[in-house]
Structure 1
Amino acid sequence: MTDAPARTGAQEIRRVLRGHGRRICGAAALALTGSALALAQPLVVKRVIEAAGTGGPTGGAVGLLVGLFLAQAAVQGLARYVLARTGEGVVLGLRLDMIAHLLRLPMRTYDRRRTGDLISRTSADSTALRLLVSEGFTDAVTGSIGLVGVVVLMVWLDWVLFLLVLAVIAVGSLAVASVLRGIERASLRAQQATGAMTAELERALGAIRTVRASRAEERETLRIGAEARSAYAQSVRVGALDAVVAPAVMLTINGSFLLVLLIGGMRAAGRDGSAASVAELAAFLLYMLYLMAPVAAVFQALSTMRQGLGALRRITEVLDLPPEPEAEPQPVTVPKRSAAAAPVLEFQHVRFGYDPARPVLYDVSFTVPPHGHVALIGSSGAGKSTVFALAERFYDPDAGRVLFEGRDVRTLDRAAHRARIGLVEQHAPVLYGTLRENLLYAAPDADPADLARVIELAQLTELVARSPHGLDTEAGERGMSLSGGERQRVALARALLTHPALLLLDEPTAHLDAANEAALRRSIRRITEECALLVIAHRSSTIRAADAVVVLDAGRIAATGTHDELLASSDHYRRLSQAGVAAHR
């Protein structure tokens, strides 16, 4: 998915934990304190047994043991809470980074990636990552600290018995290591299958009316279900492999415990069962019991972290995708001319292809003057939508230049450039929320008078008046409570509220009846007093209203002029007009 250099699991974990070091160190210090309190307890038990064997007092030592036990519980509980909270903070930080990053990727990335899979990486994968950080990392830290302490004291008490324990644990570790590699691979496949399932479901729900009209519910169910079954199969494999880890760990620990009990007991008996030898064996066995928890925690943490690494790699793949670049550091030289004389938009010998090897536009040149009204027409695939995409700087040309108000758009800040352009797409997306939220989407700080102005200008007054809650009426999912024409007029008002220098309209009359079309034409005449218009059109009434017409044919400029001039001079334009398909896409 990305050309970024491959990272090891440890490098990826360090990357996501960056910035959380202070909290992790604090939690580790608490965990170390808790482990120290726990490790002191067998030594106190040893002292109690020795004192009992010699007839000395034991009350103080027993009280100390109880105090150590209670203090250990409190400190370790606090340590786990701090680590869990840190883990949630890591997941939140990654989610925020991913959301910000996903909304700033180049358009080519959205063209090539499935939206549902990208969404899955932000939701399902980040949820799986929580296990890695809040559980896997927590267990790894607390288990490792406890393990080191136990090992030191066991070596101090009896290094021979410890070597026996180490040998048994080493054998068990080799068996578990191969299982962990399989867990990571299966977990990654499960996350990929979940992402594919989400993408397929998003595809079907996004076109649910087409699915229903085509009676394709069963086919879509089978299609999406296949991905769900794939995710199930891989998740079951993860569960099966993970189920091997716990028994292997318990066999290792229990085997080493029985071996220590057998050999240590024989050695203690050989020393005449003195209180000192029995006390040492009891302390060592207690440390064996204490060893079980950290060893089991470390092995379980490794299993959990292996499961989370698949999700982490999918997340880092997204974060490694390059964002939309800013303006080029080297400005392109523009011929000097006054701002008043500069066209609002100018294409100079532009060549472009979504795949550079297959151009969509060839040597395209035209201008849109200030407050001009230019119609862009052409048959399906002529390149009209691509012109809009280049004007908005969703893409940059492969050759030639796109100038905005006399400046090459590649030298402009993208956000500042887009703030000067309004875009009304043919399908006019309306977001979930109220009419007010949709109208203010591009200009959230617009004053009420300005909002009222664009509502009237876009012929939305009647819609607002008959809506049950006025501007605070819900528009529905994807604006489905509105008609196609209403959605288009909402999009038009939203674009006008930003006071653009150039308004791009993609077939504004496509969803309007004759009365509303006439009203919109009157609005367009008023709009040209505020900004320039570039309109993709195919209705003759819309084309005749333009000051100039640019005719595209197979990615090239076939003719330019007024409607009457082109009728007289361009055979291609006459054919388009007669066929009535001048702007079908």
Structure 2
Amino acid sequence: MSDRAASDRAMSAMTRSGLREVYRVLRGHRRGICAAAALTLTGSALGLAQPLVVKNVIQAAGAGSAVAGTVALLVALFLAQALVQAVGRYVMVRTGEGVVLGVRLNLVDRLLRLPLRTLDRHRTGDLISRTGTDSTALRLLIAEGFTDAVTGSIGLLGVVALMLWLDWLLFLVVLGMILLGAAMLTTALRRIEGASLAAQQATGTMTADLERALVALRTVRASRAERREAARIAEQARAAYAAGVRVGRLDAVVAPAVELAVHGSFLAVLLIGGARVAAGGSVADLAAFLLYMLYLVEPIGAVFQAVSNVQQGSGALRRITEVLELAGEPETGQVPGTAPALAGGPLLQFRDVWFGYEPHRPVLRGTTFDVPQRGHVALVGLSGAGKSTVFALTERFYDPDRGLVLFDGQDVRDVQRHAHRARIGLVEQHCPVLHGTLRENLMYAAPDADEGELRRALELAQLTELVAQLPRGLDTDAGEQGIALSGGERQRIAIARALLARPQLLLLDEPTAHLDAVNEAALRSSIRETAKECALLVIAHRVSTVREADVIVVLDGGRVVATGRHGELLAESARYRALSPG
């Protein structure tokens, strides 16, 4: 008994939490929902008036009075009810779509602003599923759940009041049958929410696994792993199927419960009322009561089905709420330039910086180095030494656990992230190219750049000849993930995209990794020219790139173990000689 009580308390708490979540989602759409509810209730009122008119028609016909006017009123009420309910349903569907749109826009905005630490803990495909599949499930909750529960409950109260007024004894018979039907639903409704949540989670995992396979499709096929990936995805698809069938099986109890509550009541009323009419009772009263029995079907069905829909939609709502409650990157701090910069001082400074992606596993261990206002600084070290982490902290994708990262003499944590990143250009090692044209990719970080600036960036990245050879020039489609381009072309596009924004600091992660000897020589020339305009911080392994750097910073185990020029380090640093860059 105590376990049952605890379960009831937990269910009650979940219900209250679910109602708060529903209220938050509906905020901003109350006008549409109230309009739809008002129209639905007006339609219900027009319907409730019709049995009373029918009663008057029967009584008037029995007395030999004219009934044409009363029949015309009945037809008018019927047509008006149909029109009002149609408009109400349209308003509700439109409002439901508006709710889904609002949720999707909020989810997209939140996902794009989540800290990378948070995104590292979630699978991309599952987050995409919450934006697509789960948000669509809200339509069931809003359009057919929440509103039907409200209007159905009010409509039910109106029918009950009129039935009590006509014949309270017959109403008690109806009430007994309704309570019996409700008892059938209790167990099913307790389990629908859990089954619905399991179905949504399995769908999210399936989407994540499919996204995983498609992103690495060439590796999948080269490894002959199509069947294994299909089996992995199929396992989650079957889990979603099983949970969906479980929801359907539990939801199937709703219809028989309504049948028992309404049709069983109708038969009982017909038997008892018929016997009373045979004994001299009023045929008109029985006819009106039976009509109200028919009208009882809709509000009872609406209430029962609404509860089921709310339970099914609550799983999706909970998954959406989990994302909306995640904290985004804080946009606090000053705009760059409001604090005095150090005249002639370094542009970027790492001061005893400690950082780890996981607690108690630091990647950087007291890292300290400077990058001047102009010039070419190279970062070298074995894989895992912390080179990419330096880039991540410089861009404020993460903040240091200890120590300081200073930009132009100012702690980067005191600067707005968006404004700070506007001063930095980043060229990642895998050089992502977005779906769209070359022009859209190049102008991604500088959408207001003019044609002259665009030509300059193309020349610096050695792309002018490539663009001239394309049939549509800069308006050529780059293909999904830049599939229409070679690795070297994607890298040069990424470099041009970063240069077009005229950054104070340009971060290059292995810029020559996908270039042949000719293009590498051209890029080195571009680097020399770019270093005259801004600071360059380059992760490099090739000796040709490292040799020309003004300063080389050697990282080992998250610490700076040596700095200097190529010749100096060859003579003085055993670690640098062991790396043998190139």
Q: 112, 125, 129: which one pairs with 1:116?
A: 125
TM-score by length of 2: 0.95
1:141 equivalent in structure 2: 150
Residue type of the alignment partner of 1:200: D
Work out whether 1:385 is the aligned partner of 2:394. Answer: no
Does the CA contact (< 8 Å) of 2:377 and 2:551 recur in 1?
yes
1:296 equivalent in structure 2: 301
Q: CA deviation at 1:47?
A: 0.6
Residue type of the alignment partner of 2:142: V
Residue type of the alignment partner of 1:421: I
User: How many aligned residue pairs are there?
Assistant: 567
Does the CA contact (< 8 Å) of 1:31 and 1:145 recur in 2?
no
Q: 301, 309, 332: which one pairs with 1:327?
A: 332
Work out whether 1:561 is the aligned partner of 2:570. Answer: no
Q: How does 1:419-430 map to 2 (within 5 A)?
A: 419-430=422-433
Work out whether 1:318 is the aligned partner of 2:323. Answer: yes
2:521 equivalent in structure 1: 518
Which string of whole-angstrom CA distances, capped at 9 and with x for unpartnered residues, describes residues 515-536 of structure 1? 1100000000110122100000
Q: CA deviation at 1:546?
A: 0.6
Distance in 2 (CA, whole Å) between partners of 1:41 and 1:434 is 63
Distance in 2 (CA, whole Å) between partners of 1:570 and 1:29 is 81
1:95 equivalent in structure 2: 104
Distance in 2 (CA, whole Å) between partners of 1:340 and 1:445 is 30
Q: How does 1:137-286 map to 2 (within 5 A)?
A: 137-270=146-279, 272-273=280-281, 277-286=282-291
Does the CA contact (< 8 Å) of 1:84 and 1:135 recur in 2?
no
- Secondary structure of the residue that 2:113 maps to in structure 1? coil
Does the CA contact (< 8 Å) of 2:341 and 2:408 recur in 1?
no
Q: CA deviation at 1:356?
A: 2.5
Work out whether 1:24 is the aligned partner of 2:27. Answer: no
2:55 equivalent in structure 1: 46
Q: 454, 457, 460: which one pairs with 2:457?
A: 454
1:410 equivalent in structure 2: 413
Residue type of the alignment partner of 1:66: V
Q: CA deviation at 1:340?
A: 3.1
Distance in 2 (CA, whole Å) between partners of 1:493 and 1:64 is 76
Work out whether 1:528 is the aligned partner of 2:531. Answer: yes
TM-score by length of 1: 0.95
The gaps in structure 1 that reach 5 residues or longer are none
Distance in 2 (CA, whole Å) between partners of 1:99 and 1:64 is 52
Bigger drift between 258-267 and 511-520 goes to 258-267
Residue type of the alignment partner of 1:374: V
Q: Which runs of 4+ in 1 moved over 4 A?
A: none
- Secondary structure of the residue that 1:504 maps to in structure 2? strand
Q: CA deviation at 1:367?
A: 0.6
Q: 399, 402, 408: which one pairs with 1:399?
A: 402
Which string of whole-angstrom CA distances, capped at 9 and with x for unpartnered residues, describes residues 209-256 of structure 1? 110111111111111111111111111111111112112211221111
The gaps in structure 2 that reach 5 residues or longer are 1-12
- Secondary structure of the residue that 2:369 maps to in structure 1? strand
Q: 82, 91, 97: which one pairs with 1:73?
A: 82
Work out whether 1:353 is the aligned partner of 2:356. Answer: yes
Q: Percent identity?
A: 69
Does the CA contact (< 8 Å) of 1:80 and 1:138 recur in 2?
no
2:498 equivalent in structure 1: 495
- Secondary structure of the residue that 1:322 maps to in structure 2? coil
Distance in 1 (CA, whole Å) between partners of 2:166 and 2:383 is 85
Distance in 2 (CA, whole Å) between partners of 1:37 and 1:193 is 45
Does the CA contact (< 8 Å) of 2:540 and 2:546 recur in 1?
yes
Does the CA contact (< 8 Å) of 1:250 and 1:296 recur in 2?
no
**What is the CA RMSD across the aligned residues, in angstroms?**
1.6
Residue type of the alignment partner of 2:307: L
Q: 567, 570, 576: which one pairs with 1:573?
A: 576
Distance in 2 (CA, whole Å) between partners of 1:57 and 1:399 is 93
